[in-house]
Structure 1
Amino acid sequence: MNETNQNAELLNFIYQNSQMGVDTITQLLDISTDENFKKHLHAQLKEYRSIHDKAAQMLETNGFNEEGLSAFEKIRTYLMVNFQTLNDDSTSHIAEMLMVGSNMGVIDAIKNIHKYQGKAEPDILELMEHLKNFEESNVERFKPYL
């Protein structure tokens, strides 16, 4: 696979991952009732949007097509969040859900950093590293709410 495809793949992973974060946090803001917790959710949403916008801009600059989440993925995520908060919409449970999601994000980020190291452009790898660090900080940010 050539370098151009590697760059497009990694950027689209970042784009989709951050889109999932934006969609999930937006949905959880409607469910959560804890105002202090919502401040953390708003901060997290702002950063996911920033990463998403940066990935979109880099895709456009490099002439790549944006591959957003499919309608199926969006619906699946929406239903999963609704299902998981149906019987327990406590702040503790939402924090746990977010921590699990962020841990999955960290694992995927590390795998992609290893997969694309030396194959993708350094600025794209740097954005992937930024997303990984953000996901790691999310895990720490929500621990007090468990």
Structure 2
Amino acid sequence: MDNSQNTVDFLSEIYRGAKMGVETINNLLTKVNDNSIYDELKYQMQSYEEIANEAHEEILKRKSEPKDISTFNKVSAKMSVGINTMISNNPSHVADMLIKGNTMGVTGITKSLNSHTCSDKEVQDFADRFIKLEQTNIDRLKKFL
């Protein structure tokens, strides 16, 4: 795979990861009643939207189209949020769910970063920013546990 395609593939993974964060939080916003966790969710969703938009722009600059999240993954995420919030929608439970999701995001992007060593340095730095965002989200959510 050439460097250009490698970079686009990596950007697409970042894009899908950020879009999954938006999708999940959007599903959660209708399920929470506590204002403090609601405000945190809105803040985190905006951060994911910024990353997704930046990744989208970078992909377009490279004359490609981003690959969106699969319908299966969207439906799975929605069902998971629905089931988990039926169990409990208290801030501690919601924070725990999101921390697990953020951890999966860190793991996924770190694996991609390690396997896309040929991608542009700028894109690798972008991936590092996304990982730091996920880690910051985890730290911010800990106060709700």
| TM-score bracket for this pair, using the shorter chain length | over 0.9
* Structure 1 residues 132-143: aligned runs within 5 Å: 132-143=131-142
Q: Percent identity?
A: 26
Cα distance in 2 for partners of 1:14, 1:45 equals 15
Q: How far 1:58 sits from its partner (Å)?
A: 0.5
TM-score (norm 1): 0.95
TM-score norm. by structure 2 comes to: 0.96
Unaligned runs of 5+ in 2: none
Whether the 8 Å CA contact 2:13–2:109 is kept in 1: the answer is no
1:36-60, CA deviations, whole angstroms, 9 ceiling, x for partnerless residues?
1111111101110000000000010
AA aligned to 1:136 is Q
Segments of 5+ residues of structure 1 without an aligned counterpart are none
Residues 119-134 of structure 1: pairs in structure 2 closer than 5 A = 119-134=118-133
Residue 9 (structure 2) pairs with residue 9 (structure 1): yes
Task: State the match for 2:40 in structure 1.
Answer: 40
Q: Look up the match of 2:18.
A: 18
The 3-state SS of whatever aligns with 1:69 is coil
The runs of 4+ residues in structure 1 deviating greater than 4 Å are none
Q: How many residues align?
A: 145
CA RMSD of aligned residues (A): 0.9
